[in-house]
Structure 1
Amino acid sequence: MVVPSQPMNLLLLAGILLVAVNLRPALASVGPLVEEIRQSTGLSSSQLGLLTTLPLIAFGVISTLTPLFTRRLGIGGTLLGALALLAFGIAIRYVAWLPALYFGTLCLGIAIAFGNVLLPSITKRNFAANSGFVTSLYSSGMALGASMAAGLSIPLANGLGLGWRGALGIWAIPAAIAFVAWLPQVRRLTRSEPNRSFAKAMKDLGGSRLAWQVAFFMGLQSLTYYAVLAWLPAILISRGYDASFSGWMLSLSQGMGIVGSLIIPTLAGRKPDQRGIIWLLASVEAVGLVGLLANPAGWIALWVSLIGLVLGGSFGLALLFIVLRTRHPETATELSGMAQSIGYLIAGTGPLLFGSLFDLTGAWTCSILYLMAVAVLKLAMGLGAAAARTVD
């Protein structure tokens, strides 16, 4: 591994990390506040699940269209506009009007979709020789943002008296800071002329089995991540833990995700074939989910940590697949758009179905068994995506 040393590359890397940290707080801040939002608004579990599902739907719709924006505005300009929309979407959720909560959630989902797609593309274009290392850095930055938001939501809402709306809206401030910090990169990341039409690119990728395997792995790992993000605190509260402890357990899960995001892509980037890593992640996830289901007293922190470690590592690995399975930066942008579009449409079913299963059964058993079934499918797709080949 060679750490980028050119001053401009270091400035770009710092900008990437600042963007990455802002891509998850708007989502992770919701889970610990679910019960307060429910009591304040009277929303059902399914309607609350929509607060996590709406961004995923936006991810699915917008991701595949991202190359159209980058061809006109460039990567830098597209990402700058996304940061402005992110700050707006977060801020409007502070308004005491229920439609504003959902409209702001949709806006921030659209903004995050652009960021999700473009960070692997920038990595391929500017840091190809260090793709595993850079992917580890920004994926762990995303996990760090999620961890901070999950842990601070209850203290912000109750300790500082901001209420749940203030605890959601305050994350517009770091998003606005990221917007200002990204301004110098707009001129640096200029537009490049595509070597094929958007329609041709999507047709070519649609005929690639490997591209579909990358997309399904992305979707299945994201499904589990967002289901846990949305409902882990509610699971723990239903088992007798208080809201503050439950929020910190979600923060612990996200914190262990940082560890997974740092380690797994770095290791995977050194290997042409990542199937052994897929098997390792699947084994650890199985232990964590079984432990969460069995619920032995005093062990909850261990199961939450294992699940978080795997989810962070799997997410970083999914992003790295986009870089490793392509030869050209333009192809990386196209594969990133396709994988995240299809992937997040799959993931969008996660929080909604997870919460609906609880509404139907009155217990979390079926919901956790659902995640176990998803883990088996993820293993199968991951083994295909991890083989040493490219979509080009």
Structure 2
Amino acid sequence: MKRTSRDIRTANRYEVLRRIIARSPTSRPELAAATGLSLATVATLVGELLELGMLTEAGFEESAGGRPRGLVAANASGGTLIGVDIAETYVHAELFDLGLTVLARAQEPVRPGERTPKQVVAQVAAAVGSVVAQAGANGARVLGVGVSMPGQVDRENGVLVHATNWGWHDVPLLDLLAGCIAYPLHLDNPLHACTTAELWFGAARGRCDTVVVNLGTGVGAGLALGGALHRGVSNSAGEWGHTTLVLDGRPCHCGSRGCVETYVGAPGIMRDLRERDAHGPLLHPDDETATIDALARGIAEGDPVAVDVVRETARRLGIAIAALVNLLNPEVIVLSSWVARRLGEPLLAGVREAVARHALRRPASAVEIVLSTIPTDPVCLGAATFALEGALASAVAAGGRHFV
């Protein structure tokens, strides 16, 4: 697709804003060096963002042998953004200022049997209403809401095309949400949200090629190639959880068998535990979170069943990641989402060992495998950046109208 000068300018404006938020405060020369844009172009774009109220002047810094450099920073009081993480067992919302600092959090449970689009939309509306109420006066200036929904998403039309674990097909989710949420809405999936969060604030920042493995109820691999989020031609890149790990293996919700997700996602881990010790204290049959938490405690206490289950999970996950290492030759692979966070270092060590054994030596020696260090919900953080992108585009389209 041919990019127009307007497209390039829009992308540059957003890149400058991203760099400032991720490393604030900063100077115009530092931005020029980081983005590869000319100092004149950076100065013009910063001026536009200052006029919009998205940035503020932040004093000066001394420079070697020259005049002090003016610093700019995100204007924290310029408005707020909301990121929503719709997961298989919960809806979590976080409200951020324009510096992407969390101001409020809320969570609604998603119980078995309560997963119709109408029910989930009501839970999203409740969570959004809660964070706005908590934020008080700040909540009155919401510039947009980014919503992450697991599955294949048509982000341009706001349609959830297919959610394997939910049984949803062609759900006009954005239209349904717009019926009860009055703010601008932006829809995408957790793979893209997590990867964006890592690009802005995590292990992918400053890297060229990164894979973010999202390990929760579902499993996927977000891609940042050439330092930018890779969506694919239909916004479906990253569905690595539905590649085959075991030929003719466990049945998967997608209709295939032996998918990666059926072995290393939370339900697959619970199945392993059930096969080893169905009546033991580690397994909570109707509660994924409680089971993974019990496994984490079991590992710390040296429980042999917990150690065995997590070791096998790490081995399978490492074998699947080895294929990504061979295929993409990335600089870094980030283990993200709640299962990876709870199982932590024991899972990481097992994955590293399996990748070293099963990947080709040269790409394996070049890749770094780490746990995500983002302190907040990475899906909410990434979803909020989608809302920020939309807010910036809307302001520019409206002729540079100030946000506040």
Compute the TM-score of the two structures, normalised by the length of structure 2.
0.25
> More helix per residue: 1 or 2?
1
Compute the TM-score of the two structures, normalised by the length of structure 1.
0.26
Higher relative contact order, structure no. (Cα contacts within 8 Å, ≥ 6 residues apart): 1
> More strand per residue: 1 or 2?
2
